[in-house]
Structure 1
Amino acid sequence: MRRAHTGGCRPCGQLVRVAPGGPVPWLLVSGPEATAVDNAAVEPLSTSPVADELAARFAAAGHRLYLVGGSVRDALLGRLSGDLDFTTDARPDRITSLLKGWADAIWDTGIAYGTVGATKRGQTVEVTTFRADAYDGVSRNPEVTFGDTVEGDLVRRDFTVNAMAYDVVNRELVDPTGGRRALRDRVLDTPATPQESFSDDPLRMLRAARFASQLGFRVAPRVREAMTAMAGELGRITAERVQAELAKLLTGADPRAGVELVVDTGLADVVLPELPAMRLEIDEHHQHKDVYQHSLVVLEQAVDLEDGPEPDLVLRLAALLHDIGKPDTRRFEEGGGVSFHHHEVVGAKMVRKRLRALKFSKEITEDVAQLVYLHLRFHGYGTGEWTDSAVRRYVTDAGHLLTRLHKLVRADCTTRNKRKANALQRTYDDLERRIERIAAEEDLKRVRPDLDGNEIMRLLGLPPGPQVGRAWKFLKELRLDRGPLDHDEAVAELLAWARAEGIEPPTGCPE
């Protein structure tokens, strides 16, 4: 990544990597040199061939063109993003006409809101007319009106760090609301008062928590106060929009920070009430782990165990919600004990209900619910007492989620007792070795009967139907219990089962 830095307070074009949440050297510069440093930081965006060509095209037609929003913010943070967002004084129809003949493809699905999208040589761009929206206060849908100045457009945006623009033609940063200073201080504040901003669009409150997770920012005190006072307004936002923000929050660099802000301000009471419900009261007679705090630690540990190129939303949701069933299953036992019997069963049902309400996909909902349902299964392993049959069932029940289940179970160990923690990890190491050994001997990923459906029908003289299904299930259970059988043994077992079921094999069938 080509990036200016401040060695001697002068941009030098050196390659610099900036860690999320870490210091950004050029933002520490102040005074007259700050402008040069800022412009150097953003310039790589505007000097791409696509941006240059687009700027020249708009300038020739007498229009202004600015890079805006997240792309400018990320450039100043040392994180060049792939897509380019522009704003202009040109109206939507004019934008479309200027893009025609230049872009490889154009789409106008957002034209009612002033946005036209295009691609050029694989680069995606969106160009939006200056906005001066007002919200109707009921549906929270914007009443679109177009503005005439970039400053007016920026002031209506959600946070000051997103309210900066870069004049592509004149190579100048436009920052009417102090966004650069907010980036330097890593603070989320609103251009207008938080009450005005959140009244315009209550989803911005949840977006603040998302940025806390993604960027490592803290919210300004007045923003936190407004979020707490106005949390109920979030109930007016559609489930789809809420779900999108929650997913981005959970896949951020520090999801715990975002979750804590959502819970502490009361936003979770509106969109994910099962989360704050895990903050169970504990008295001196009935001690147990703080379920909510435990879940936050499990989330952090699950993130640390991820090994793919992208954050694992399914694993993170399962880690956060794995004990969601504990409040409803807590029982105080005689002698001061506390139990949570079958909380994994109750929790899986609660996960399905909540994720469906939030419009998560069926695949994500079922995967998270299954992980929650299975997360305690390992604890029956003891010190290795499981038979090979039990190990096969563990793998079969986990299916494609087995790798995630491994990570979730390991992340679920939050005891401060190092001896106990090490013992649990060694035991799980042993289980994984056994899975690998058995998998080397047989195909655990596809535990199937030793006879297929066609052979079952031939041997028993049956047409397709429920009886074939029952026979297939019997053979699968037999395979789980005893491992692979040779062909003759599988046939003998099938025929014995059939006769016990009152099914008489055809004459000539092998005994």
Structure 2
Amino acid sequence: MDKKIVLQIPAILIEIGDLADRKGVPAYVVGGYVRDMLMHRSCSDIDIMVIGDPLPFAQTIKNELPGRNLVVFERFRTAQLEVSDSEKQTFKLEIVGARKESYNPDSRKPITETGTLEEDLARRDFTINALALSLNSSSRGLLVDQFNGIEHLSGRILRTPLEPKQTFSDDPLRMMRAARFSAQLDFRLDEAIILAMNEMHERIRIVSRERISQEFLKIMQCPKPSAGLSILYETGLLKEFMPEVALMAGIEQVDGLGHKDTLYHTFQVIDNVAAQSDKLWLRVAALLHDIAKPVTKRFYPSSGWTFHGHEAVGIRLVSKIFTAMRWPLEPSEYVRKMVRMHHRPIPLSKEEITDSAVRRLIVDAAEDLDDLMLLCRADVTSKNPRKVARIMSNFNNVEQRISEVAEKDLLAKWRPPIDGKDIMDTLGLSEGKLVGIMKSRMENAVIDGIIPYEREAALDYIKMLYRELS
């Protein structure tokens, strides 16, 4: 049903509407741009739906606005291009034709036919994305809202245009999108959506892992990722594509006088990181930092649950998850390092800190030291305020010692005072195992304070080593 709401639209859309009038084409802005306009959120991606063939209209926009970087997808009868307004702001347009869809039960790829405006809006994922804004001059700015999307926006609730089971059966990825929009927009899910997701979570298996990963990483980039992650776990979706994480639920770990569930502890750690950093892969490291606790847990009456070696097992699981989720390999080493080292600063916070121990932490963490310390602080989720204050004070001491040692030793961006080539040139050696052994022992000697961080001292040291090893 049309709500008699008329919105002011930007000049670039008025120009596109005038082009539509000249070509006799009914044209609407649909989906996320309309939603974000109503929520006063900035958005530069605009979906324009026309009644009829979209491709000639896309070409008209390119020729007359003008547009650029036109890409046509003949098979799907859609086109993409970019336009700029008078203030040089760039907009990415996707031009589509109104369509209706049907689905094979074993595939999320739709069988499409030309449809009406009403049929097109009915096929969309959520009512807040099933809003259309007329661009033609006779009804310009008129909002089409046949599924009460405005009401749901106002109430901050997600509902589907059709029955949730049909919406999710047609495209199971929409269940992931429900969790993402809930976290991204701070909306609650309608009870019918939650029930449908609980019943249908296994259907996500027909979706490619790449598409699942895209939605999952968008959840991880939300202001409070736990809002979406909790939905994924509680509806059974999480165990379908990341069972190693779901297994953390119910694993207890000692925390003062109480216990905490490792999965929800992990969700809190991610939120703590997200409050301090936008770095996606640091958030992923927070997700996976305790990933091996389910397989390393042991219970001792005297001390409770223990998880000995979970860092070492964890880095193997990180590699497995990166492969399964089709994540890029480049950040894998960073995440593995964070998982491997996330407990390293903790012993330093509980004892008299030696320069040698601090040097080793600086060298091993290298350029990721600040991220590691942020993760360690985020890992403190105790409800005991005195315990938290004590731990944070200890971490402050560690960071102070890091600063002191780094300044004293010039270790902030530590590099060995000499490299393998220096060793080979000084001793007249060719590349080989002996050079590697001497280089490693020289680096350890610097870190442990046996020799000063000076080039000449390092060269003298490798000469002495060479005499010993020859």
TM-score by length of 2: 0.91
The answer to whether 1:293 aligns with 2:264 is: yes
- 8 Å contact kept, 1:160–1:189: yes
Question: Residues of 2 paired with 1:397 and 1:454: CA distance?
Answer: 22
Match of 2:83 in 1: 120
Equivalent positions of 1:282-321 (< 5 A) are 288-306=259-277, 311-321=278-288
Per-residue CA distance 1:395-422 (angstroms, 9 max, x = gap)? 2222232221111100111122222211
Higher strand share: 2
Give SS of 2:197's match: helix
TM-fit CA distance, 1:312: 2.3
Q: Amino acid of the residue matched to residue 106 of structure 2? A: V
Equivalent positions of 1:387-406 (< 5 A) are 387-406=354-373
Equivalent positions of 1:361-380 (< 5 A) are 361-380=328-347
234-243 vs 111-120, greater mean Cα deviation: 111-120
Structure 1 residues 111, 467: closer, same or farther in 2, change over 3 A? Answer: farther
CA RMSD of aligned residues (A): 2.2
Equivalent positions of 1:203-242 (< 5 A) are 203-242=173-212
Q: Amino acid of the residue matched to residue 100 of structure 2? A: A
Structure 1 residues 453, 368: closer, same or farther in 2, change over 3 A? Answer: closer
Match of 1:172 in 2: 142
* Residue of 258, 272, 277 corresponding to 2:247: 277
Give SS of 1:485's match: coil
Question: Residues of 2 paired with 1:335 and 1:438: CA distance?
Answer: 38
Match of 2:315 in 1: 348
- 8 Å contact kept, 2:253–2:259: no
The answer to whether 1:143 aligns with 2:111 is: yes
* Residue of 324, 331, 342 corresponding to 2:291: 324
Question: Residues of 2 paired with 1:85 and 1:480: CA distance?
Answer: 58
Question: Residues of 1 paired with 2:356 and 2:21: CA distance?
Answer: 72
- 8 Å contact kept, 1:186–1:217: yes
Match of 1:268 in 2: 238
- 8 Å contact kept, 2:36–2:42: yes
Give SS of 1:144's match: strand
Match of 1:105 in 2: 68
Give SS of 1:376's match: coil
TM-fit CA distance, 1:52: 2.0
- 8 Å contact kept, 1:137–1:200: yes
TM-fit CA distance, 1:444: 2.2
Unpaired segments of 5 or more residues in structure 2? 85-89
- 8 Å contact kept, 1:384–1:430: no
TM-fit CA distance, 1:295: 1.5
TM-fit CA distance, 1:445: 4.1
Q: Amino acid of the residue matched to residue 299 of structure 1? A: I
TM-fit CA distance, 1:238: 0.7
265-274 vs 399-408, greater mean Cα deviation: 399-408
Question: Residues of 1 paired with 2:459 and 2:15: CA distance?
Answer: 73
Per-residue CA distance 1:147-172 (angstroms, 9 max, x = gap)? 2x222111100111100010022220
Q: Amino acid of the residue matched to residue 66 of structure 1? A: Y
Question: Residues of 2 paired with 1:77 and 1:208: CA distance?
Answer: 18
- 8 Å contact kept, 2:223–2:275: no
Give SS of 1:380's match: helix
Question: Residues of 2 paired with 1:96 and 1:89: CA distance?
Answer: 13
TM-fit CA distance, 1:247: 0.7
Equivalent positions of 1:480-495 (< 5 A) are 480-482=447-449, 484-495=452-463
Q: Identity percentage over the alignment?
A: 34
Unpaired segments of 5 or more residues in structure 1? 1-31, 503-511
Question: Residues of 2 paired with 1:485 and 1:251: CA distance?
Answer: 41
TM-fit CA distance, 1:229: 0.4
TM-score by length of 1: 0.84
422-431 vs 473-482, greater mean Cα deviation: 473-482
Structure 1 residues 441, 112: closer, same or farther in 2, change over 3 A? Answer: farther
Per-residue CA distance 1:450-481 (angstroms, 9 max, x = gap)? 22333212211012344333333332222222
Structure 1 residues 486, 156: closer, same or farther in 2, change over 3 A? Answer: closer
- 8 Å contact kept, 2:252–2:262: no
Per-residue CA distance 1:339-387 (angstroms, 9 max, x = gap)? 1111122222212211221111112332222212111111211434232
- 8 Å contact kept, 2:159–2:190: yes
* Residue of 412, 423, 443 corresponding to 2:410: 443
Give SS of 2:430's match: coil
Question: Residues of 2 paired with 1:476 and 1:470: CA distance?
Answer: 10
Give SS of 1:100's match: helix
* Residue of 56, 63, 74 corresponding to 2:25: 63
The answer to whether 1:200 aligns with 2:177 is: no
Structure 1 residues 146, 366: closer, same or farther in 2, change over 3 A? Answer: farther
Match of 2:304 in 1: 337
Question: Residues of 2 paired with 1:400 and 1:251: CA distance?
Answer: 22
Per-residue CA distance 1:58-98 (angstroms, 9 max, x = gap)? 22011011111001011111113122221112414313431
